[in-house]
Structure 1
């Protein structure tokens, strides 16, 4: 597993399309229990070479009901985004993840994981990729019907502060769904 992660961290396949030098961010261990599949690292993650170490990450850990120590333990959580490098800034947040990463690396990473109990699909890019035909018409519908994707997947909106409007329009998510997620995560990590 560590050899593969080192190989991924050295990837430069989409170098010509990135605003900064390639710096693929990925984490995990053979025994990772919960896999986090998000969009792509943000600029801060790129600079610090640490995933989810920003307001989005704090909100995600709050939703999961875990400490930083729990989250960054690779035996608990593996992190394989849809795009491994910071894609650059767009009009309303970061650009979409590069399309090269997931088909190139995800199948190989999945071969290495031996103890996965749950896969968190964060945001529409991850949900479209992994849910395929099962996906509903939009992210809200996916999250509303999250139980249909269990026990394998738990679908979530992106925890970015940019998404605060989605959360305010859908209070049922933090009132009901987050509690279910926390119970499930606590059971898996026990």
Structure 2
């Protein structure tokens, strides 16, 4: 968790992975490197809380499952998310990364992640939906080549637009 009331873009991820849990630095792993690349921002910009706020769906590492980390524990978001968002008064865009944040914030639980990401424009101006940038999603990225060709250039434009207003 890393944010201030002045954060312009809020990044809502899942829960910390083991490396992030051990270092205490959010997105301090391969997923974070890919996410920063997707957004075309430096580490310094990414961790500047006047620019970006980082709020996970859960604050602690949920443990290992059969095919990766376990899902974030739902009681965490239920307890804290609304209170946190009330204090993010200068937010201009919220990035919903992965299905857990999308299921929590969006009023379309019947949509799957791929359909949501394809239809990202329908969630603006408040939200931009993304798959999780984890290396575990390389298969999804290979299957959905449109994401890198069409969605990422638009993501970069939305990031720039939200930050230019400062």
Common fold by TM > 0.5: yes
Corresponding residue for residue 107 of structure 1: 82
CA distance in 2, matches of 1:135, 1:74: 30
Contact between 1:76 and 1:189, CA under 8 Å: does it hold in 2? yes
Corresponding residue for residue 151 of structure 2: 177
Query: What is the deviation of 1:184?
Result: 1.1
1:129 to 99, 104, 117: 104
Query: What is the deviation of 1:188?
Result: 1.6
1:95 to 70, 73, 86: 70
Corresponding residue for residue 150 of structure 1: 124
- Counting matched residue pairs gives 164
SS at match of 2:56: coil
CA distance in 1, matches of 2:44, 2:78: 30
CA distance in 2, matches of 1:138, 1:64: 23
CA distance in 2, matches of 1:98, 1:189: 31
Change beyond 3 A, Cα 1:181–1:135: farther
- Cα deviation per residue 1:90-147 (whole Å; 9 max; x = unaligned)? 1111000011110100111111111000000000010011002x35520000000100
Give the 4+ runs in structure 1 shifted more than 2 A.
134-137
**What is the aligned-residue RMSD (CA, Å)?**
0.9
Contact between 1:40 and 1:85, CA under 8 Å: does it hold in 2? yes
Which structure 1 segments of 5+ residues have no match?
1-25
The structure showing larger relative contact order (alpha-carbon pairs under 8 Å, at least 6 residues apart) is 2
Which structure 2 segments of 5+ residues have no match?
none
Change beyond 3 A, Cα 1:41–1:184: same
Q: Which structure has the larger Rg over C-alpha atoms?
A: 1
SS at match of 1:80: strand
CA distance in 1, matches of 2:24, 2:139: 29
CA distance in 1, matches of 2:156, 2:78: 30
1:118 to 68, 74, 93: 93
Q: Does 1:61 align with 2:36?
A: yes
- Cα deviation per residue 1:7-41 (whole Å; 9 max; x = unaligned)? xxxxxxxxxxxxxxxxxxx1100110000011100
